[in-house]
Each structure stands twice: as structure tokens, then as C-alpha cells.
Structure 1
């Protein structure tokens, strides 16, 4: 009886430690919880397949996104803030949801697709964008925390590797996030959209 219980325990432990396949690691989120999405998320790390954009991405001091409460199951807005050279840049996006996939309103394009991806991190969010029919990809890891555990970062690095993207750039958690945007803030100006609505 004890031997059988130990065997079962080993089998269960073994099944949990088996590495996930790439298909499992980068799969779209099964179900998007809009209530969970609401609020501010700090950018922890990201990878961009286009080297010039990745280099520009690495220059950021910090970044975050803030999702607003929505009155619809299919439409939601968020403001992205980026701290760059001690200045904050803000831009607000409206997106249309279709399950875990989304499109930016007013930019419907057959060459663009995006989705929220699965992560085992309980307070993290993954945004995966593909432009130019998948030739260019952006993959962003956000969290309610500024710094994640090593195993959580290892999972993200494995996901990036599965997508054949460059190693991710990790944000410095000691750098302050931009404050909430206010109408009187002179630095709160929209940034150009040349990098694929990130």
C-alpha cells in the first residue's frame, strides 16, 4: 500500500516536472478574464524580432500599460506609458477582443495579428503581436510586480526561444514608472505608432 502510494506520488511529481513543448508554452490564453486585466501592469521584459526596434526598446527606463474598465465584452481601452530619457510618453489604444485575440481599432490589417498568451505566472500578462504576416514579432511580459521569480523569467525566456526571437531585454525594476497621465502634463504626448502599436 505504501509502495503504491509512493509510486503514484513519483508519477505525479514526474508529470509536473516534464518540460512543456513549444506549442504549450506559446499557446494563446484559453479565456481572457477582463476583470483580471483591469488596472496597471509594469513591463518586466520583452523581445522584438526586428533588431533596430529591439535596440530602441532597450533604451527605455520603464514602461507600463493601464487597462480601463470596459462596458463591453469585446472592446477595451488601455494607455501605454514609456519613460525614456527622464520623460514620460503616453498613448491610448482602443482594442477589439475576439477571445484571447485582439485588434487595434482603426488599424484592421490582414498583416497584423495579436493575442494574450498563456503564462503560469499568476499575476502576469503576455501580449504577443505579429506584423507583416508573422515576419516581425513583439512579445511583452507584464506583471503587477516589478521583478519576477527566476522560474517565471526562465519560462518567459523559453517562450521567446520557442518563437525564434532574440533573448529578451529585461527592465530595471528600480527605475520609476510614469505617473498616471493628466491633461496638464506637458510630457503626455502621443508617441508615433511606427513600432507596431506596442
Structure 2
């Protein structure tokens, strides 16, 4: 009789555990990057989640934006970014290529690997997997002038939880962004 009760309890728990797995699988589904044109343009980082060892860097990051541009002749793109770290503006750029759902960025003679993930409409969600296949950080960006809705914040928290990134920071959007030096020339 005790065996039958244990089997019944185990059977009741199965659907619950598979639902949790399906939820995370749905939340961290890679974005098909065959259509690069939807990714081009300027994006403002509104949320970031990171592993605990990156927390000191996250504490100094006040704002950040990225810009993706596409070369119509190839699958090679360029990414430019400017981070506001404390009071300093730090700019960088790199070449980006795509292979299936993988994103490879070359910067300072190092290749960074990651994926764009499906997320809210008009959002860009990237997870860096340069340290093996384990995400070390992810960011959520939207077009300039956009704000994160509370439901988008909740979804981002769940996505970060799914990849075991517990250190989450939300940014104020366009507030305190470093200027785009190219636009001022």
C-alpha cells in the first residue's frame, strides 16, 4: 500500500516538474538570426544579469548602448558600444558574425560567443557564453526612448533565473547615456 501511495505521489509530481522545464525552455529559446535587418540600429541596455563574479563590474556600469550595423555583402556585422563606467565613457567596437544561432564577436584579438534569445517585441536579449556553454551575463535592450514594462522586467528576471544569473540590475534607459561621438562629427 505504501508503495502505491509513493507511486501516486511521484506521478502527480511529474507534470509539475516538466512544466517548469518547459517554461525555462520557452524563456531561453534562441532567436533565429537569419534576418539581421531587425537587429540593426541603436539599442539601449535597460537590464543586465550576471554571474556573481561580474557583480563588481555591474556595480560600476551606469548606462550602456550598442549599435549593430550590417554589411549587405556578407553575414558580417559590426557592433559599437559605449558604456558609462562610473563617470567615464568607454567605447569599443568589434566584428560580429553568425553561425546558426550562435553570435561570434571579435574584439581585442578575442572571440566572444553568445546567442540572441527570443523575448518581448521590440527588445533585444543577448546572452554571453564565452566561458564554455555557461552564460556569464545577459542583457536586455530596447530602442532609444523605450522603457521596460513591469511584465518585461518580470520575464527578464525569470529568463535570468533559468540560466542561473542571480545578479540583476535595471537601468534608467536614456538617462545618463554617453554621447555618440560619431553623431557629433
TM exceeding 0.5: yes
Give the secondary-structure state (helix, strand or coil) at the position aligned to 2:61. Answer: coil
Q: 1:27 to 1:78 in 2, by over 3 A?
A: same
How many Å separate the matches in 2 of 1:70 and 1:135? 30
Alpha carbons 1:116, 1:127 under 8 Å: kept: yes
TM-score (norm 1): 0.72
**How far apart are residue 113 of structure 1 and its match?**
3.2
**How far apart are residue 123 of structure 1 and its match?**
0.9
How many Å separate the matches in 1 of 2:88 and 2:59? 15
Report the aligned-residue RMSD: 2.5
Equivalent position of 1:43 in the other structure: 45
CA offsets, 1:77-130, max 9 Å, x none?
01110112332110001011113311123534xxx63111111x1110011111
Off by >4 Å, runs of 4+ in structure 1:
none
Q: 1:73 to 1:168 in 2, by over 3 A?
A: farther
Whichever structure has more helix as a proportion of its residues is 2
Give the secondary-structure state (helix, strand or coil) at the position aligned to 1:68. Answer: strand
Equivalent position of 1:107 in the other structure: 110
**Pick aligned residue for 2:23 from 16, 21, 24:** 21
Alpha carbons 2:70, 2:76 under 8 Å: kept: no
Alpha carbons 2:49, 2:165 under 8 Å: kept: yes
- Extract unaligned runs of 5+ from structure 1: 1-17, 186-198
TM-score (norm 2): 0.77
* Structure 1 residues 117-132: aligned runs within 5 Å: 117-119=117-119, 121-132=120-131
How many Å separate the matches in 1 of 2:128 and 2:142? 18
Alpha carbons 1:157, 1:167 under 8 Å: kept: no
CA offsets, 1:145-179, max 9 Å, x none?
44211111111110001111114111123622121
